[in-house]
Each structure stands twice: as structure tokens, then as C-alpha cells.
Structure 1
Amino acid sequence: TLIYIYIFIDVFFFCFFFLQLRFLSLSSLSFNNMSSSIITRLLIASCTICILLPHNVWGRMAFEKLTDYDFAGTTYYSVKNLSLYECQGWCREEADCQAAAFSFVVNPLSPTQETQCQLQNDSSAHNPSAAPQRSANMYYMVKLQLRSENVCHRPWSFERVPNKVIRGSDNALIYTSTKEACLSACLNEKRFVCRSVEYDYNSMKCVLSDSDRRSGGQFVQLVEAQGTDYFENLCLKPQQACKATRNFANARVGVSEEKVAQFVGLHYYTDKELQVTSESACRLACEIESEFLCRSFLYLGQPQGSQYNCRLYHLDHKTLPDGPSTYLNHERPLIDHGEPIGQYFENVCDKSSSSGTGLNTSAMDKLDTLPISFDATEDPTLNITRNDVNCDKTGTCYDVSVHCKDTRIAVQVRTNKPFNGRIYALGRSETCNIDVINSDSFRLDLTMAGQDCNTQSVTGVYSNTVVLQHHSVVMTKADKIYKVKCTYDMSSKNITFGMMPIRDPEMIHINSSPEAPPPRIRILDTRQREVETVRIGDRLNFRIEIPEDTPYGIFARSCVAMAKDARTSFKIIDDDGCPTDPTIFPGFTADGNALQSTYEAFRFTESYGVIFQCNVKYCLGPCEPAVCEWNMESFESLGRRRRRRSVEGNDTKEADEDMNISQEILVLDFGDEKREFFKADPSTDFAKDKTVTIIEPCPTKTSVLALAVTCALMILLYISTLFIYYMKKWLQPHKIAA
């Protein structure tokens, strides 16, 4: 909108200037020269200010890439034998290009791969309901506009995998109205390194994670999820590619290394070729590559003449849709061209959940980890030293914690020195295990359902036995056994380690409690439709919701309404859970597991956008309402937690869990044109940008200032032109009649 206003003003003054020239019938050559000079300066000034307008009015251009997938689209230009990066560069430069489809034909007899680049001005990739088609040797690149200063200068910023998610690795959950806003949030994330994103087009849920497909442990496996796409951040620096140490090793895909290397040399598109003196030099080139995120390399042996012997790739077997099975179905070429097969190495991340070596964890791990206390049941004088129950005779000490989730039990282990061995569920060493290689932090997920991990459940209490084994095959007395238990009891927050001298090695008990489900805010109109834009005085239903199938209740306190710029705020619910002014925002009432309050829309004087933020806490079962007073009257509001009596005494306990949630709504004045933005099926309205949670819809102060300077400059130039003309006419000597 700002650009359109600027162009309109520019054209208006330009046309008005020439109309004045024609009206005054100016024909003087000197004035024509003067006017040409002024026009030239006007155009230069206009173009300069237009260039200096903030680039965030448009957003930054970026690309997402899909491997071996293709979307339907309208091709307006097709060319052969371009490189992958030339194809992407053409689409970047073409304003009409919305997507680029790059494919190549495998020909073992040809020294170069025959390629085809198709530029599309319309693509179904922007439609959430469109299903991509599998296509071998295809890279599909979709143009995006991301509002982030951290968009990298690489060919593509994200790798997209349709209808896939990673379970149980969420670090942050937000709601955005577009996929682009979700990806921008990942690039803008400061609390942790955002390595992957999941976006649900139906619920508009955006999940950020510091894990990706290459993070160690079985808890990062991709699973099917219709309507949700998985994205990997490819703007990471090489040292950020892994949460722990980044190494390179032979691909473990169930086939011989020679067969894998032969497939890679034939079917992988080479991103960069160079000549090196050794395999370690080729490895180093991949490690420090900055133009793209290097995932693997192929070393072809000692250099011969001027031939390249090191190939770098942005691919690995995890990038391919079929994963390891891709190599199983591959047949050797009928004709051998005589070139060396080489050695293929892939990027391998240590099986650690930390963001680096050592005992540092991500922000989410700190939130999820429950406090640990040690209880020596045999020797009351036992100290927590290398001689305690959590250390072995080798001097290795184990710090074990439990994360109780909705569908799994996550056992997190940290050690004071690198550990080599296995961690597995007792009796399920083949189906529920993780191999640990030289790592000081690792994690095992125990599924609650099925027989893979054999987790036992009795009246809501889930238990299992975990073995920490040093040797890959045999079990010794130095190994550790932990009894893990999760219960749905918010009053129990401790994890207790106790010795059970009934077997060798010792068994240690761990008890924990599950995390509560995340709440969300919804604002509904009188017809129970979720709204984002309303008018002042509209009757709205403010709801804080959690899933119905949980044993928890919620209460809200410290709710604040803030202006869009956060300069003005108004507390609507105080710290005790009572409304500060029930005439503006009444107290909460219960509606099942949800809280709701019916109020009339209001806004702040200087801002149309109103952001609501509440502190939400949990109870086991329904929460006790707060008793509030207003105008000498008492009433109840669900803003105070129910206190739970301890078994031993009369003092009370309160749970420590709380969560801040927020929601934004746009409130128009009475005279503004009514525009309704109801959340509809994204498949029927996928082209509209309805983001209000991430993207700033109003022009910035810098943009407004630039527009004001432009207008002032144009007016000044026009006035100067007229002034010079009349001064010239006034100073010109008049002819005296004979």
C-alpha cells in the first residue's frame, strides 16, 4: 500500500508540472533547458528515495526446495543444459517466476548430466491441499517472501518434506496464518538454534525445534502427518548443522559402501567439484563450505592430471524420500565407463540432545527436565560422589532424568565423560535401543503403546526398565539398570533414585509426572466463528482452551491487553485472578476444560492491534475459583488454583507449572469499512495472507518518514520551478513601444 501511494503522488506531481508548462505556453529555450534539468533532478530524487525505502516493505526473497517431488504448474519458459544454480538464479531474477522445476537425465556414458529447467508463473505448491507427485532426479524450488533479516544468500533457505513431522522434539509452539510467517519465526528465533519447522495448514500451528532428521536418537524419526509439512533450516552455519559434534562416516543403509558410492556418483547432482590431494582435504572442504550446507562428499582417489577428484553434495540418504531403500532398489549400470567409484561419506551427528558437547542443553530441555534428588536406601551417610549409586568403577557418573510425554517416556542421560555402549529397554534390546558412540549426552524414548518397548501400565501409572550397557553384546556388573515410572500426579515433582539390592547390576528407581498440554487463546464472535478483525463494541467470546481428554484443569491470572507497539497496556485480570474492571472485561467462567469471558471489543487510542497475554497455570481436576469484589459485590472468577493438602500435614502445595500465552486481534473504529477475516479452510483461500501474529501489517516509522520526505521534496521542486519562472519573467526587460 505504501508503494502504491508513493507512485500515485509521484505521477500526480509529474503530470501537474507538465500541465502548468502547457498552460503558461512556455517556449523559451533557456527555460526548457531549466525545466529539463529540474525534471531530471526530480526523477533522480524519486528513484533514489524509492530505492532507499525499507526493504522490509516487501520482505526478503527466499526459496524452499523439494527433492524428488514435483508440483503441477504453468510453465512459461523452458531451457536445457543449465546448472541447478543457474536455473534457480533465473527464477530469482524473473519477477513472474513463482517456482522452478529442475530435472536431469542419468546417462553413464555422458561426461555431463543432461538437465532441463522449467520456470513457472503459477504453481500449486502454494496450495496446502495440493498433493505433490513423486519424480526421480527432480529438484522443485518455490519462491517465498520471508520477513526476516536472517535470510541467507544461499540458493534455498529451507528443505520441504510434505506430510511429515518429527514427534516429541518441539521447542516452541506458536500460531501463524501463513507458512511464510512460520519459516520467518524460525529464522528469527534467538533462544535456541532452530533446525526444523513443522507447519499444520489446518490448525495454523507452527512448531519450532532444535532437532532435525539427523539428530541422534530414535525420537527424531519422521512420521506421516497429513496436512502438515516438515521444513529443515538450510541457513545454518556449518558448525550449527549438528546439536553435538559433526562427523563424517560411511552411509549405513544396509548395502555395501561400493554400491552406495556408485549410486551417488551417478544419481546425485554435483553441487561443487574440486581437486584435492587427499580424502581428508575433501572432507575439510565439505566441513567449511559456506555457499550451501554440505551434507556429503565423494572422494575419487588420487588426482590424475587436471581432473576433479572431490565432489560435494547438499544431499544425503536422509534427504531422499525413500531413505535407505533408495539404494536397495538400485541396479548397477550395464556399461562400465571405467572411472573410479570412489569413497562416499555422509554428515553424521553424534547421538546427543545437547546443542554442543558437554552438559549444556537447549532451552526446552531446561523447561522439561524435572528436579532430581538422590536417596540412598542402604547407607544413610552415602554422599553424592564418584562412590554413589550413579557412578561405576570406571569413574563414569550418570545424570539421568525423565520427561513424561503424552505418548512416550523420554529418558535423558548425561555423563561426566564420553560413553560408549548401548541404552535399551530391558527385554526389548532389538526393538527399543540406541547405540551410543563417544557421547556425553543421549536420549532413549520408550513408547507407551505397542510391544516395541514393552512399557507396562496399571491405572494410569506407566513403568519400564532401562539398561545402560557398556559392551555392545554382553551385560556386566558395571552396567546400570533404572526403573522408570511416570504417573499423572501434579503434586509429585521429584525423581527419586533408590538402590534395590536384589540383583547385579543394581536397579535404580525413577519416578516422574507428565507435562500438561499447551493452552491456546481463541476469540469468537456471537456465531462462534474465530475472528481476527472486529469493530469496537462487537460482542466477543474470549476463550482459553486445552484438550478435553486430559486430567488437568486450568486457571488464568495476570492477563494484560497491550497495544500493538507495546507502549500502552491495561491489566484486565490481576495477579489473584480477578478482573480489574468487569465492565470492560468480566471474569472467567468454566466451560468444560476451557475458560471463557464475554466482553465487548475495545482498542487503544494509538493502535488498532490489541494483544492479549495471560499467565495460565494447571490444576489436577477442576480449579477452585477466586472470590472477587466489585462495587461492594462478591463474585467468583476462575483465576485461582485449587490448593492441594499434603498427606502429612495441613500446609498446602502448589504446582510450579505455568505458561504465558498471547493472541492478537485487530479492532476497527465505527467509521471504518467492515472487513471480516474468519478462519476458513486454507485449501479454498490459500493465496490470502492473513498473518497477524508474526507479520507487522502497519508501515514502519522509517517508511512513513521516507514517504513524507518524498512528498516534501516534490512540492519544493514544483514551487521552485514556478518561482524561477516568474522571477525570470519579472527580471526580463520590457520592450518600449515606439
Structure 2
Amino acid sequence: MTFLSCICRVEYLEGNTRYKSQTVCPSGSPSFELTAGYVYTSPTETIELKAGVLQLKQCLQMCRENEDCKSVNFETGLCVLFSSSASQRPQSLSPSQFPVFTIYAEKVCIRGSGCIREWHYERVKGHYLMAEIKKIQTAADRQQCIDLCFEETDFLCRSVNYEAATGQCSLSDMDRHTVLDKKLFQADSNGTIDYLESNCVVDDARLCEFKTIKNKILKTVDAVYQDVKTEEECKKICLSANFRCHTYDMGDPANPVCRVSHYARASLTHIQDPYLKIADALTYELASCFNVTIECLSREMVARVKSTKMFNGKLYSKSKPNSCVTDVSNSMEFEIKMNYHELECDVRQEDGHFFSEIVIQHHDMIVTNQDLGLSVNCHYDLSNRSVSNGVSLEVDGRDIQHSESQLATVGSPNVTMHITDRKGADVIAAQVGDPLALRFQIADIDSPYEIFVRELVAMDGVDNSEILLIDSNGCPTDRTIMGPLFKVNNSGQVLHAPFDAFKFPTSEIVQFKALVTPCIPYCEPAKCEDTVNVPFEGRAESDSYGRRRRRRSIRQPRNITGQEDELVVVQQIHISDKFTFNPDEDKDVTLATSSANLAPIAGCANLISIAVVCGSFLIAQVTLLFVCAFVVNNRRSRKDELIERAPSVSSTASRLYSRQPFNISWS
């Protein structure tokens, strides 16, 4: 009885002064360490059980204001306060993943981090992140280890690995959300390493893209808002939250509410089944954010990009994708320089304005709906002495059209390939990111054959670049571009391969070519595993209707039963964008999306008369060119001198396209 009535106090040592966490912290209000997927159990030391609490910050505030509270359990709608903690009773902390996962939070004191978030960091027991280690130090406990992260000044510390057995504290500028490879976050076989992730990182992000997770919502979220009516309102709440919000949803479609959370698939790999499956529900997960700044120099403009996630891809001039390009590999900061007077980057000029369009492309070869287009603009005002620098980001739409052409197939049975929507209807127009599909079908419904498809290739219609979509085993090479093949209406005569519309940056023509093999009586599907290109989903396995075979050239058909050959099918699609920059509009924030309709000029004229007139005109033009060349050279020298001394500079970036239109500006 004496033991149970004793109030145990967590003490914090700073210098020669020992503080008690239940009364006061040296830096002011105490903060919290979160541990997801664990529940603290201590019935005799339960202070209060509060139902109807819909926000984690409310639960934490209740504990913060109660001097006796040391820890809490939070589930959406339930907050439980305790007068003890897992630091005192580690055996009372156990996994809690069914039917919902619990968030356990323990009161801690942080040494002067300057962070004003509801909680400072999150702990994942028995895990570590295999990212680049920026600094290794020694700490007495995990609390001191995370303090070292908050106090780091040489780089932005996002996470630490703390090994209790040795006291080794490994600091990194990466975390689970910035790395691309889920394999970098692993369980420690000995269970002696803890992963600690800062919630105090503030990313200066302006352009944010969200991916959609269909038919799933999180079981536990940080906050629920009941008076939000639209998805766009919910998105704004997530982006303005006082924590690193990574997902939002509108809950059950039958009872819509706005739910936001700092968790995403990247931070839920250690929790089993963290989602509820609800038909037609959608979860929006933060993919990445970009902050773009423009620096206007005397002879060039420099576009600098900062990403919230490690980036692999390209940054290039939209009109000069081959000559004006920066290849980016595993970097969160990159830039492109565009000279005003060189042709490589096609920087256009009007009076004191220099402008061009750039593209942030995620994939190495093709343009997808994840990519961003920006119009960048520098304005030199030579008439006054004021100096200003600013960037304005603006969204505009895209019109991308395509037309399809039917092709011939080889052999029997007659197999066709069509470009359709996800329901199988032929499409005549699309834009990058539209949900499409390739449909392979035997024309004769009475045919005894079934089909499987492999070695599906998309090719650029200009420079013969190509990308392999379905490999020699019949499996997708990158599920973010094209998914596995599956039967339509359980018929082996019709196969469906979903993908989102894309194009090559150098061409408006995308050609598809594939091997189609007939088989009797049915085709055996391939078991396709994907552990690389579906981020943080674990090992995925699905059927795809292509048989496992060694890769060989599609120019070498092979018999299956000794009678039927493999068929080569080809399809072509025309995808064009109409983005144009209108120099007649306000240069600071404008971008026009409509393109001029140019009609050919036709007429009849006497060819001999035209030749005589043209000859006379050319002689006059040659004479004028010599005179103009002399004048232009003198004026250009003077203009360069003025730009070098330009007292007023403004810069602009306008967003061309994204999946969700929005306006953001700053100065």
C-alpha cells in the first residue's frame, strides 16, 4: 500500500541543478515524447479517462496542465492520463495495434530548443534509420541524445539513432519522410537501438503535392475537425498545422469530417494494419514539397529548388530539355542557370524582362502528373533606385490532347491493343496524369485462345528513347507508371494494364509495343513481387498475366505449341501540351495557357513575279543587315553595361501545372 500511494517523480539534471518534471522544466512548459503503436497500462495510477477528445494536442494539454500527470494514452476520441510513465515502469508499456493503434506520450523536458510544437519528437522502439550519419556523439540516455540533435548548428538535424548499450548517438539530416528507399528504416535485431525523429523541423515549402490512397483511412489521427465541408479546406488545415502534417482525409464518405495526421506510410511501417478499409474513402498523403527561388544576376537567372524529400530526376528548360538541363541524383537542393544571351536555355527577352519556363521532372525519361512546370521571370528596372527581390508562384492549367491510331497485328488469333479509360471506353483526349489503360483483346470472342503480354515498351517518337513498362516475366517494372495486367470480367481474352497518362519531354508522340502470346487452354499468370517502387508498402505480390520467361528480342517470335507465334502489337498516342507564356500580360505573376490557332495562308500567284520580287527584297535586306549589325552591337554593349549596374531587380516564378490548382506568393 505504501508503494502504490507514493508519487514517483522523473528528475532532469542540467548542470548542478536537478529539476522535477511534474512541477517545472528549466525551459518553461514541458513537452512530450511520442511512441506510436504502444499502450501504457497502470490501472492504479490512472488519473483521468476522458472520452470525446478528438485532438491529440487537447490530450497533451490536459497532461501539461496537471502537475501529477506523467504520461497519456491517446486514441481518436479517447484520452487517458497517468501519474506514472514507461520510464518508471517499462514493463507496463506493450504493443497496441488491434483494433486501433494507440499513441503513447510521455512528459519530458527539453533543453532550450526554441521549438513551440505540441510535442518535440517521436520514438520508435527497436528501430534505426540507415541514412547518412552527419555526426556521432555520446549521450547518457536517449533524452540527452535528442537534445544534441536540437542543439546542432552545423546542419539541420532531423533524426538520431540512440544505442543504449554503448551510449552512441548518431545524428542525421534525414528522416523517414525524406529518404526514398523504405529499406533504410529497419528493425534492430537486438532491440537496443531507438530511432528518434524531430517534430521541430520547419520546412520552407511552398508547392506541395499529395498522393491518393484509395479505400483506406488511418485508424488513429492527430485531430478531427467536424465543421469542414470540402477536401480543399481540409488540405489547408493540414498544411497549416502546428506539427509536420503528412496525411489528411474526409473520413467515412457517409459522415464526412476532416482528419489530419503527422503519420504516413513512411512512418507506419512498424505498425501492423494501421488503416481502416472503407469503400470510396480517400486518404491524401504528402508526396513532396518544393520551395523555388529565383536569383536575377547581370547575365543570367538562377532557379534554386529545395525539396522536402530526396529527389532524383531532372530540372530543365521546357523548350530546351536536352541542352539546358540539370540532372539531379539523391539531393534535396538543386539549381539551374540560364544565360540571358545564349541559345541553350531559350531565355526570351522583352524590354527589361527576361523569362523562360522550367520543368521539375521526377522520372529520368518521361513527364508524369507528379511533375511541376514553372514560369521564371526577371525584371530589370533601370529607371529608379529601389531594390526588391521576390518570388510569386501561381498555378495555371494544362490542355494536353492526344489522338490514337489503330495498328495492324500479326498472326492468328487477331489481337488488338487500345488506349482506354479505366472502364474500357476508348479515349480521344487526355492530359498528363489522367487514369488510362492499355487493353489487349482477342477480336474473335469465339476464339479458343487466351493471351498474356510481356515486354511492353513505351518509345519516344522523335529520338528513339524508350522505357520498359512490363518486363520479360510479364510484371510491371515500376508500379508508379503502370500497374500489373489483369483479366477483364475474368476473361483471359481481354487484359487490362492501368497507367496514368505520360509523355516524353522531347516529343508529342508515345508509341507502345508489346509481345502478345496466345495459349491454349489458358495462360498461367506470373507472380509479381514489388519491393522497390511502392514506397513503404512492404512486400507486395500480385498476379500479372505474363508467363515467366527469359528475356529475348521482340524481333524473334517463338512458337508456343508449335503452331502459334508470338504477336507484336503496336499502338501510338499523340500527347501535346499547349503551355505558352504571354509576354503581353503582367510579368510578375502571369501565365497564359491558351495557344494561338494558326491557320495556313493559301493563295495563287505568278511564280516568276514572286521570284523577281523576292530577289529584290533579299538584296535590300542584306544591305540593311550590315547596317543593323553595327548598330545592334553598339546597343548590346551599352545594354550589358546597364544590366551590370541595374539598381532594381524583381524575379517571378509562376506554376504552370499540377494535379491541384492553387495560388501561393511570397516576397
TM tier, smaller: 0.3 to 0.5
Rg larger in structure: 1
Q: Which one has the bigger helix percentage?
A: 1
Structure number with the bigger relative contact order (C-alpha 8 A, sep ≥ 6) is 2
Report the TM-score when normalising by structure 1. 0.36
Report the TM-score when normalising by structure 2. 0.40
